[in-house]
Amino acid sequence: MLASMRIQPALDHDASMAPNFSGPSFRPLYDQIKILLTQSLIAGEWKPGEAIPSEMELAARFQVSQGTVRKAIDALAAENILIRRQGKGTFVATHTEPKHQYRFLHIIPDKGEKVHPTTNFIDVKRGKASAEVAGALDLKNGAPVTAIRRVLVFAEVPIILDEIVLSSALFPNLTIEKIRESRGSIYSFLETSYGLRMIRAEERLYAVAADNAAAHHLLVAEDTPLLCVDRIAFTYGDKPVEWRRGLCLTQGYSYYNELA
């Protein structure tokens, strides 16, 4: 079954204006600047990989101190939304950079160094959203959705069977040929082709038994224990744009996540 996520409405704001102090609750000034910077990213003012204006320019734009801007940028850098480069400035983070391509991949070998997988795409199919999917994606019943299936292969062993579900309206004309030609991660492809960058993800883990399809693609017997990882990935403004279900073989591999 194609699965679910809920899209939050985008914020509508003129980022050229100074922060608004009115309202029932008070936000620290740097947090207001952080919101304004995020809204500029949502609007596409600065693309992934591009430099943003200097702290001095932003301070003048928002009519605040340079220190306040610096604190807002530090907060966005801590969330991997912006990247500071010594002597060069501050840039919008991008999945095309090698260290960010597999940022959300948490399956690693039990022994030896972390390895990057190769990808075997199975198919790209279009379908109609069920009531469950439509409600989660904030779509009408029967709205078009696109599902990508692939296998991630580690050291020549198929380890993860992925199903990735996207709104066809957000990702039109998506074909398996386009994905294969990109030769990067799926997130770098979605970023460069559709301008949507995944900045964070939520995951839910549980155990399942391999069904016929999973057994076929992972080369295991039916009912083999698998780790199921359901993921919702979000773009700027905390807008969820991708649902993913990964069925993971854990013989010699584990789910690893470092908690700060």
In CATH, what number is assigned to the domain containing residue 198? Answer: 3.40.1410.10
Q: How confident is the model over 194-245, as pLDDT tens digits?
A: 988 888 898 999 999 999 999 999 999 999 999 999 998 888 888 888 989 9
CA atoms within 13 A on the CB side of 135: 3
In a domain, 24, yes or no: no
In a domain, 147, yes or no: yes
In a domain, 144, yes or no: yes
Count: domains in the chain = 1
pLDDT in the model for residue 98: 62
At 260, the pLDDT band (50, 70, 90 cuts) reads: low
Range of the domain at 111: 98-255
In a domain, 60, yes or no: no
Please state, in angstroms and rounded to a whole number, the distance separating the CA atoms of residues 229 and 152.
14
Q: Which residues are bridge partners to 228 per DSSP?
A: 206, 247
Please state, in angstroms and rounded to a whole number, the distance separating the CA atoms of residues 176 and 203.
25
Q: Tell me which range, 24-28, 43-47, 209-213, is most confidently predicted by mean pLDDT.
A: 209-213
Q: How confident is the model over 154-187, as pLDDT tens digits?
A: 989 999 999 999 999 899 999 999 998 887 789 9
In a domain, 23, yes or no: no
The closest alpha carbon to 197, from 24, 42, 15, 7, belongs to 42
Q: Are 82 and 47 in contact (CB under 8 A)?
A: no
- Provide the 10 A C-beta neighbour count for residue 27: 14
